[in-house]
Amino acid sequence: MRAKRIVILDWDTMAYNKEEANARRFAALAEHVDVYPSTKPEETIAHIGDADVVICNKVLITREVMEACPDIKYIGILATGYNNVDIEAATERGIPVCNAGSYSTDAVTQLVFAYIFDHFQRVSLYSMDVRLGAWETAPAFSYFPYPTGELRGKTLGIIGYGNIGKNVAKIADAFGMSVLIATRTQPENCPYPVVTAEEVFRRADVLTLHCPLTEQTKGLINKKSLALMKETAILINTSRGGTVVEEDLASALNHDMLAGAYLDVLEKEPMSPETPLKGAKNCVITPHIGWTPLETRKRLLDITEDNLHGWLGGNPQHVVNGI
């Protein structure tokens, strides 16, 4: 079985600078494939048109879009998160929504520890000082004005215990960190203490978010939760920007209520010049790169293609709405 028409709405999110990623791999699965580099909200309905298969990364597929495009029978997400799709509306219309599952587990875990190492080893600060000649004028063989620390014995608090959370916990354990887990459902055979989010806030030296953006997690990091944290703690967010109230985090950083924050996601992306976090103290922001290693994006495309193969063959997989 082949699809009638596949439309890919935001291919540039997968192939920055037109590099190796290739949308033609989907041509064998449909009579026709249309690929758009990007799609503005006002273009979505026109770009989808009579397509029965929609593939996108961040384009909003709302109830209005589905009502205006009644031929949609399948939505494939080029990501793990699927909060850009109105799941209730898709379910009502019998449209399976399939995401890419755990494609980015290793890549995001790698970024989390890059942040942790940067904070505790101060590599970037020391490298900058060396470039500026500070070591050349040091009074002793070793120059260490910035305090560093060992990971062993530090407490890592993880909110969300899916594939990424589990992988982060395993690596933290290997470094001798004490791991605490807060998650909405009690995990089976979890080797680490499962506690409330409030306890994680209070005890963590490093707090890292690995939860989806839901009504329950929206604004999870706010004035109240930040007030519970140690002044020496750092926050890491590689999940979704909406889990953080940016004004509250900026205030906490600027008033030394927190030692630092490392963020790969923001509420508005691309980053708004008006975000209060832009000039916040000890705030490191990267431009949503956790998922971008070449191997990771190839895996993402493989999973997306396999998902579509499965649906066309009557065996859908990675279906987030149970259809």
Question: pLDDT, tens digit, for every residue of 34-50?
Answer: 999 999 999 999 999 99
Residue 180 in contact with residue 195, Cβ under 8 Å? yes
- Percentage of the chain beyond pLDDT 70 is 98
First-to-last alpha carbon distance for the chain, in angstroms, is 19
Q: Assess if residue 236 is contained within a domain.
A: yes
Q: Assess if residue 161 is contained within a domain.
A: yes
- Same structural domain, 99 and 109: no
- Same structural domain, 76 and 118: no
Residue (of 318, 319, 302) closest to 26 by Cα position:
302
Residue 224 CA: distances (Å) to CA of 77, 151, 252, 279: 34, 27, 11, 22
Segment 175-201 shows an average pLDDT of 96
How does pLDDT run across 217-244, given as a tens digit for each residue? 999 999 999 999 999 999 999 999 999 9
Does 165 have pLDDT greater than 70?
yes
- Same structural domain, 217 and 79: no
Catalytic, out of 122, 240, 297, 318: 240
Rounded to two decimals, the pTM is 0.90
Segment 279-286 shows an average pLDDT of 97
Q: Assess if residue 321 is contained within a domain.
A: no
**Structure tokens given for 104:** 């980015």
- Same structural domain, 250 and 182: yes
Does 309 have pLDDT greater than 80?
yes
Catalytic, out of 92, 198, 269, 295: 269
Residue (of 78, 59, 58) closest to 69 by Cα position:
59
Residue 62 in contact with residue 89, Cβ under 8 Å? yes
Band of pLDDT at residue 20, cut at 50, 70 and 90: very low
**Structure tokens given for 194:** 């499962």
Residue 277 in contact with residue 249, Cβ under 8 Å? yes
Q: Write down the pLDDT at residue 172.
A: 98
Does 260 have pLDDT greater than 70?
yes
Q: Write down the pLDDT at residue 22.
A: 66
- Same structural domain, 207 and 86: no
Q: Average pLDDT, whole number, for the chain?
A: 95
Strand partners for 75 = 54, 97
- Same structural domain, 119 and 244: yes
- Same structural domain, 92 and 152: no
Segment 205-220 shows an average pLDDT of 95
Q: Assess if residue 323 is contained within a domain.
A: no
Catalytic, out of 47, 119, 210, 288: 288
Residue 295 in contact with residue 61, Cβ under 8 Å? no
CATH code of 19's domain: 3.40.50.720
Q: Write down the pLDDT at residue 101.
A: 83
Is residue 269 annotated as a catalytic residue, yes or no? Answer: yes
- Percentage of the chain beyond pLDDT 90 is 91
- Same structural domain, 187 and 85: no
- Same structural domain, 213 and 184: yes
Interatomic CA distance for residues 147 and 276, integer angstroms: 27
Q: Which of 22-31, 83-92, 151-160, 195-204 has the lowest mean pLDDT?
A: 22-31
Altogether, the residues listed in the chain come to a count of: 323
Domain range for 109 is 105-285
Band of pLDDT at residue 105, cut at 50, 70 and 90: very high
- Same structural domain, 30 and 78: yes
Q: Assess if residue 319 is contained within a domain.
A: no
Interatomic CA distance for residues 217 and 225, integer angstroms: 12
Interatomic CA distance for residues 48 and 17, integer angstroms: 24
Q: Report helix, strand or coil for 77.
A: strand
- Same structural domain, 109 and 245: yes
Is residue 240 annotated as a catalytic residue, yes or no? Answer: yes
Q: Assess if residue 322 is contained within a domain.
A: no
Query: 24 vs 48, which has greater pLDDT?
Result: 48
Quick check: bond before 145 cis, omega within 30? no
Band of pLDDT at residue 323, cut at 50, 70 and 90: confident
Segment 199-214 shows an average pLDDT of 96
Is residue 288 annotated as a catalytic residue, yes or no? Answer: yes
Structural domains counted in the chain: 2
- Same structural domain, 93 and 154: no
Interatomic CA distance for residues 302 and 297, integer angstroms: 9
